[in-house]
Amino acid sequence: MRGLSIYAATIADGARRLFDGMPPRKKRKSAPPVSGLDRIGALPDSLLHHVLSFLPAQAAVQTCVLARRWRHLWRSTTGLRIVGLAEEENLNVKELRKFVDHLLILRERTNLDTVEIKFAYFCEEDQPYVKTWVRFAVMNKVRALTLSIDSPVDLHLDNLPLVSRYLRTLDLKSVALQETFLDFASCPALEDLKMNYCNIDADRISSCSLKHLSISDCSSKLDCRVHVSAPGLISLKLVGFIGRTPFLENMPLLDTAYVDLDEDCEDVCLNYVTGVFCGAKDNACVNCVPIKDDISSDLVLLGGISSAKHLKLLSESRNFIFARDLKHTSTFSKLKTLLLNEYWCQAPDLDPLACILKNSPVLEKLTLQLFSKGPNHKVEMKGHYCSMEGPSTISKHLNILEVKCNVVDKRILKVLKFLSSFNICFSF
């Protein structure tokens, strides 16, 4: 009995120290008294651990004062959320250091399903603390890890290679990433990787197990392209990349890809004139001249995603990557649905649009979103392939064609006339 009393006193003291480490909270109006049985407290431990995992760590610890039944439940939750509470959305790392350090010491060494570390303010002196928390998550076999820093200062995960047989999902925001971190050979179970507003200081992202990859508004200051090697990928999102367009290696299992090259992409033709690029000629601009060690004569994007069944391909007008890839492209043998913007329809002969249509033999649905970003468009027209009007060089399976725009002007009429040459009829 004496030993149990000492143990209970130790835990109680630990809980008090956790509360001492919390930043002061705003006062609330007292809640009305609760009557009746504690029906929630009667639930099994495993279920209560799961419920507490959805709470910020501060709130989960505070449940220890509810009743004797709740005293130690927080120590074995299956999830850990190191975030600010609702009224503390601008909480910074410094205000939680003491609390989190105590929390990690007092927790049971139970496996973690999820860990979320999210802060609005972050400074250089916070780096070692957050890295320690990440190591703790990995050591406790975390399956889903989220790191989100809403701050001008990035979290640098250099010299912190991930080694985990259990990690399946990794969600990163405003994190600086180096090659030691982005080589996921030691994470054989990783299937889902999301990177938002990350600085990629590596020439390669590689994973044989990855199935879903999202790279949104990330940047690279390297002179070479970031190579993406993920042969098992099923879905890909590459949007708003700042720097040179990443090089996509072969993805034979790819089902869906969404690529949007906007004005922040560096692969732009400096001599661009309405759908015409200067190309690799004597008078080519410095951006269009091929670089031997960059494999510029090969496909950058379209080669890697040519096996996809569903594609959404958007680009800013001056970007030459898609146009140059089309000169070397292979057949999109599995492609069933395709969404394109006006980039594909601005060349004088609409050759980019013609090329991708001719190389998509099983295409069933084509959507052209022209000079209108949506989601609401003032004008929407539908068309279909008319097989009775003679042979066609495009897919005979094309039964749905949509043209979305804000106004039917000369540019739109030119596209409609071009499509009619492929036996496509429109209804207005």
Give the pLDDT confidence score for residue 20 in this predicted structure. 55
Q: Using CA atoms, how far apart are residues 334 and 371, in angstroms rounded to an integer? A: 28
For residue 121, what pLDDT band results from cuts at 50, 70 and 90? confident
Q: Which residue has the tokens 């109006």?
A: 29
**Is the per-residue pLDDT at 22 higher than 80?**
no
Share the mean pLDDT of the chain. 83
Q: Quick: pLDDT tens for 336-378.
A: 999 999 999 988 889 999 999 999 999 999 999 999 887 888 8
Give the pLDDT confidence score for residue 139 in this predicted structure. 93
Q: Using CA atoms, how far apart are residues 380 and 368, in angstroms rounded to an integer? A: 10
Give the pLDDT confidence score for residue 376 in this predicted structure. 85
For residue 119, what pLDDT band results from cuts at 50, 70 and 90? confident
Q: Using CA atoms, how far apart are residues 86 and 114, in angstroms rounded to an integer? A: 20
The average pLDDT across 210-239 equals 96
**Would you tell me how many other CB atoms lie within 10 Å of the CB of residue 371?**
16
Residue 297 tokens read as 């004569």
For residue 409, what pLDDT band results from cuts at 50, 70 and 90? very high
Residue 215 tokens read as 């790279």
Q: Using CA atoms, how far apart are residues 222 and 219, in angstroms rounded to an integer? A: 9
**Is the per-residue pLDDT at 151 higher than 90?**
no
Our CA dihedral for 395, 248, 288, 199, rounded to 10 degrees, sits at 140
Q: Which of 236, 147, 128, 265 is nearest to 196 (CA)?
A: 147
Handedness of CA 26, 91, 97, 49 (dihedral sign): positive
Give the pLDDT confidence score for residue 391 in this predicted structure. 54
**Is the per-residue pLDDT at 382 higher than 70?**
yes
Q: Quick: pLDDT tens for 264-307.
A: 899 988 887 777 777 645 567 777 765 444 444 578 999 999 99
The average pLDDT across 86-102 equals 73
